[in-house]
Amino acid sequence: TDSIDAAGADRNASLFARAQRVIPGGVNSPVRAFRAVGGTPRFVARAQGPYFWDANGQRYIDYIGSWGPMILGHGHPAVLEAVQKAARDGFSFGAPTEREIELAEEILAHLPSMEMLRLVSSGTEAGMSALRLARGATGRSKILKFEGCYHGHADALLVKAGSGLATFGNPTSAGVPPEVVQHTLVLPYNDVAQLEQAFAEHGKELACVILEPIAGNMNFVRASIPFMRRCRELCTQYGALLIIDEVMTGFRVALGGAQSLYAQAIPGFAPDLTVLGKVIGGGMPLAAFGGKRAVMEQLAPLGPVYQAGTLSGNPVATACGLATLREIAKPGFYDALAQRTRSLVEGLEAAAARHGVPFAADCEGGMFGFFLLPELPQNYQQVMHSDGARFNRLFHGLLDRGVYIAPALYEAGFVSAAHSEDDIAQTLAAAEAVFASLR
Ligand code: PMP
């Protein structure tokens, strides 16, 4: 049921009807349309801290946080001030600024695998550019990705597994000619045997392997340590670049990104290229890709790999990202965030158990995922065994109680530093009631 304001008018519904006349599906990114879960998308009027308010004035505890960027919560005073000041000095110049250097230096200081980076405006752009760079730097065409990992909507990455083992993929979108994805190999995530077989067959032609270290686009699935180790070893052995897509996990699961967690478990572990987005822009359109100097210097204007952007390194976006990174680099930030996230996840597990609802959850830093499954899945096929109808009841039950989680079961969730103990307690009380109704 959708909330109705005092005058009896549901403004979300009227805005959705109006939006659908001028914007395909009424939204500018498909998941926002609530197609999977049904019902009326909430049109956001404003947000503050861990909350946003919809067009009916209804408040929600926000566990999406713009799909990851809002790690400080909405409207953090230091970030707001930095953005306002930057905006007064100019919106965009198309010429370099000191702040771009400061942001690059701040990011590189936390990610030792990267010696240089380039700023762009979206994760899609960063992933697409990293791919071109890997191909340009190696002189090879083939790329390897994993089913369930999303790296933005560049043509070559919109691919699902083909039929049979280690075959090249099929486009997942109309408008992507099969020839454009003929070099993209798609394998199941966390499957070391298939990875080894693919390298045995195609390793010498592979420009790169690209993966999400914790896959947040099939809810929340960690790359196993042996799997990540083999990805690194095989790339090194065959001269392919290992690209870690940390658009979601970067500065979200730890200050050093997910790669810092794998480096603890795998001595000497480092990717060749890293893709970043979301948190580094603090909610503004900003993303980056970077890695070793020798690879990055293949980019124009130094090298032969072309890449450019009118709004790249935008002065307002860099101010927002820089202010955000300076806040989250303060001592104790991630310990507190991780503790808050864990209390949410453990509370949800306990509530589900009390009501006999199969439930498995995981979290790292300020990112979490849960499944209406008895155990955590390891790959996309297993994620898709989730009970969609039950998830939709859970989603709407929480929404009706003022808790906003991702409107699709294959999306991760995000806790911000602004979520208080009390917000978590309110969320758990809502979840308790919904689980009771699900049994
Ligand atoms: N890579 C990953 C891991 C992502 O989660 C996303 C977005 N959800 C992207 C790339 C694409 O980023 P953007 O939406 O900014 O283009």
**pLDDT averaged per 10 residues in sequence order, the chain, 439 residues:** 65 98 97 95 98 98 98 98 98 98 98 98 98 98 97 94 66 92 96 98 98 97 98 98 98 98 97 98 98 98 98 98 98 98 98 96 98 96 92 97 96 98 98 94
Q: What is the pLDDT of residue 5?
A: 58
Q: What is the pLDDT of residue 1?
A: 44
CA 322 – ligand 1 centroid, Å: 20
Structural fold of domain 77-328:
Aspartate Aminotransferase; domain 2 (3.40.640)
Mutate to test the pocket of ligand 1, among 158, 243, 248 (most ligand atoms within 8 A of CB): 248
Q: Which residues does ligand 1 sit against, CB inside 6 Å?
A: 67, 122-124, 127, 150-152, 212, 216-217, 245, 247-248, 277, 287
Any bridge partners for residue 143, and if so which?
Answer: 184, 208
The region, left, alpha or beta by phi > 0 then psi within -120 to 50, assigned to residue 65 is left
pLDDT of 161 reads 75
At residue 387, the pLDDT reads 87
In this prediction the pTM is 0.97
Atom of ligand 1 nearest to the CA of 217: 5
**In this predicted structure, what is the pLDDT of residue 7?**
67
Ligand 1 geometric centre to CA of 260 (Å): 20
Complex ipTM: 0.99
Whether 150 sits among the annotated catalytic residues: the reply is yes
Ranges of each domain in the chain:
77-328
Active site residue 145: no
